[in-house]
Amino acid sequence: MTKDDIIFLPNKHLRQKSAKVGLITPEILQIVQDMKDATISWDQSREHEVGVALAAVQIDRLYRIVVVRNDYNNKADHRFTTFINPEIVKAEGELLEDYEGCLSVPNLYGKVKRHSKVKVKALDQNGREFRVTAEGFLARIFQHEIDHTNGLLFIDHIKDDPDAFYRMGDDGKLSPLPYDQVDQSYWED
């Protein structure tokens, strides 16, 4: 798969809840590989961004699967960790506001409040349960991606704040985006 297989708003599938994975089959493992390939293809097409994670719904597969890049500060590192049926079991710490973007919401960014620490449980590719405690940016990634499995996007957290939206310039810097330039069809049923 490539970046062209990533779906984006207003595709209504992004608003659907993903199904739990019951059995890890060769089809599920292929979806995981497709997610990694699509993410790498996407960030190879972007000068100033790195694809740090992807949910299966973003390649139009409605399964509760998330892949997270192992080193999101190194664009050349193509290793990912797979989280099947990920669930936040505890969100704690302060709510911190920071920028987010999304491969399924092209050229739109926003300042979103997220918990500074989360505890996540999931299955690995062999069906074994494991748990992760994440803080800072990694905690934000988990909240963003697990939202995807529930049919939510980062823009849903800020849709009523006209000052929360941004766009990226050719220089890689974010600047405020007037609210009247935000596509309102993103929130239509």
| Selected catalytic residue, list 97, 129, 145, 188 | 145
Evaluate the CA torsion angle 98, 156, 75, 64 in order and state its sign.
positive
Distance CA 109, CA 105 (A): 8
Catalytic-residue membership of 145: yes
Residues 6+ apart with CB under 8 A from 117: 91, 92, 93, 133, 134, 135, 139
116 in Cβ contact with 136 (< 8 Å): yes
* DSSP H/E element including 2: none
Distance CA 172, CA 37 (A): 24
Active site residues: 145
